[in-house]
Chain A
Amino acid sequence: MALAGVSFQVSPHSIYAVIGPNGAGKTTLFNALCGFYQPSAGSVRFEGHELLGLPPYRIAAHGLARTFQNLQLFFNMTVLENVMAGCYLRARTGLIATALRLPKVRREERQLRAWAREALELCELGERAAQSAGALPYGLMKRVEIARALATQPRLLLLDEPAAGLNDTESMDLRDLIGRIRATGVTVLLVEHHMPLVMSVSDRLLVLDYGSVLAEGAPAEIQADPRVVSAYLGGAVQYAV
Chain B
Amino acid sequence: MRLAGFYLCVVVVVLLPMVFPNNYFVTVVGISAGLHAILAVGLNLLMGYAGQISLGHAAFFGMGAYSSAILTTRFAWPGVWAMLAGLMVTAVLAWVLARPILRLRGHYLAMATLGFGVIIHVIMVQATSWTGGPDGLTGIPPLNLLGWVVDSDTRWYIVIAATMLLAIWLSLNLIDSRIGRALRAVHGSEFAAQMLGINTSRAKTQVFIVSALFAAFAGSLFAHQQGFVSPDSFSLTISVELVTMVVLGGMASTFGAAGGAITLTLLHAGLVVFQDYEMLIHGVLLMAVMIFMPQGLFVGLSQAIRKIGHGLRSGNRP
* Chain A contact residues, CB within 8 Å of chain B: 34, 36, 55-57, 60-61, 64-66, 68, 72-77, 81, 84-89, 91, 93-95, 98-101, 105, 108-109, 112, 145, 148-149, 152
Contact = CB atoms under 8 A, between A and B. Distances in A.
A148 B189 contact: no
Interface string B174-195: 1011111110110111011111
B196 interface: yes
B73 interface: no
Given A34-B195, A60-B196, A81-B181, A98 B210 contact: no
A77 B177 CA distance: 13
Contacts of A149: 195
Contacts of B174: 95, 98-99
Contact of B181 (A34, A56, A68, A88): A88
Which among A68, A91, A101 has the greatest number of chain B C-beta atoms within 10 A? A101
A105 B173 CA distance: 10
Contact of A75 (B176, B188, B195, B196): B188
B271 interface: no
Which of B176, B178, B198 has the most chain A CB atoms inside 10 A of its CB?
Answer: B178
A68 B191 contact: yes
A89 B196 contact: yes
Nearest to A60: B197
Contacts of A108: 178
B199 interface: yes
Given A57-B198, A60-B197, A72-B191, A93 B177 contact: yes
B197 A57 contact: yes
A88 B197 contact: yes
B299 interface: no
A95 B210 contact: yes
Given A55-B194, A75-B188, A93 B178 contact: yes
B178 A112 contact: yes
B252 interface: yes
Given A68-B191, A72-B191, A95-B206, A85 B177 contact: no
B195 A88 contact: no
Given A73-B192, A88-B178, A93-B177, A81 B197 contact: no
A86 B198 CA distance: 9
B200 interface: yes
Contacts of B191: 36, 56, 68, 72
B contact patch SS = helix
A156 to B, nearest CB: 12
Contacts of A105: 173, 177
A142 to B, nearest CB: 13
A162 to B, nearest CB: 15
Ranked 5 nearest A-B pairs via Cβ: A74-B188, A98-B177, A72-B192, A89-B197, A56-B194
B267 interface: no
17 contacts: A56-B191, A56-B195, A57-B197, A65-B196, A74-B192, A77-B185, A84-B181, A85-B182, A85-B193, A85-B196, A85-B198, A89-B196, A94-B179, A95-B174, A99-B179, A112-B178, A152-B196
A34 B191 CA distance: 10
Given A61-B197, A65-B195, A101-B177, 12 more contacts: A57-B196, A60-B194, A60-B197, A72-B188, A74-B184, A74-B187, A74-B188, A76-B184, A76-B188, A98-B177, A148-B192, A148-B196
Given A60-B197, A99-B170, A85 B187 contact: no
B173 A101 contact: yes
A104 B194 CA distance: 25
B185 A74 contact: yes
A60 B191 CA distance: 12
A96 B187 CA distance: 21
